[in-house]
């Protein structure tokens, strides 16, 4: 099961690279904010259809959830706007490695302290070394 989940998240990561590749030219043509709106509009419509047909009818109310859990709704568009503006200038690979470095850095902190209700996973030497390799990749790609 863990291998399947790892493969799925790798595929998800690949889709983000494709998204960055699509957003750059779209943002150049229609503007970064319009490109972001179009991506979220299509995504919202698809999610609505999926919810309509596959979501359980007796799930807890969206409005009963703590407000802080909705922060992701603010962070998503910020991420997409950054992709839209950065990708045409620095390329997809450097954009993705930079995003990955930020994701891993913050993820280690979140795991270490068990923030947002995730299980506590202490930062160890192997995880720090992995982060350093990603930072090294970022530096090497930026110099190229």
Task: Please name the residues in contact with 142: beta carbons below 8 A apart, sequence gap of 6 or more.
Answer: 90, 94
pLDDT digits (tens, 9 = 90+) for 41-71: 999 999 999 988 988 878 787 788 888 888 8
| Residue 63, pLDDT score | 81
Rounded mean pLDDT, 100-116 = 94
What pTM did the predictor assign?
0.81
The residue ranges of every structural domain in the chain are 2-57+70-143
Q: Position of tokens 């993820």? A: 107
| Residue 13, pLDDT score | 87
Task: Please name the residues in contact with 81: beta carbons below 8 A apart, sequence gap of 6 or more.
Answer: 32, 33, 36
């Amino acid at each position: 099961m863990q291998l399947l989940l790892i493969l799925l998240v790798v595929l998800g990561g690949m889709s983000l690279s494709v998204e960055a590749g699509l957003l750059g030219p779209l943002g150049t043509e229609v503007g970064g904010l319009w490109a972001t709106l179009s991506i979220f509009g299509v995504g919202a419509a698809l999610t609505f259809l999926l919810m309509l047909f596959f979501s359980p009818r007796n799930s807890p109310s969206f409005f009963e959830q703590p407000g802080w859990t909705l922060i992701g709704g603010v962070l998503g568009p910020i991420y997409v706007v950054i992709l839209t503006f950065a990708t045409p200038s620095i390329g997809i690979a450097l954009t993705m490695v930079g995003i990955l470095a930020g994701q891993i850095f913050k993820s280690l902190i979140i795991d270490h302290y068990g923030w947002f209700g995730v299980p506590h996973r202490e930062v160890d030497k192997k995880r720090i070394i992995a982060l350093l390799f990603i930072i090294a990749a970022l530096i090497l790609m930026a110099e190229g």
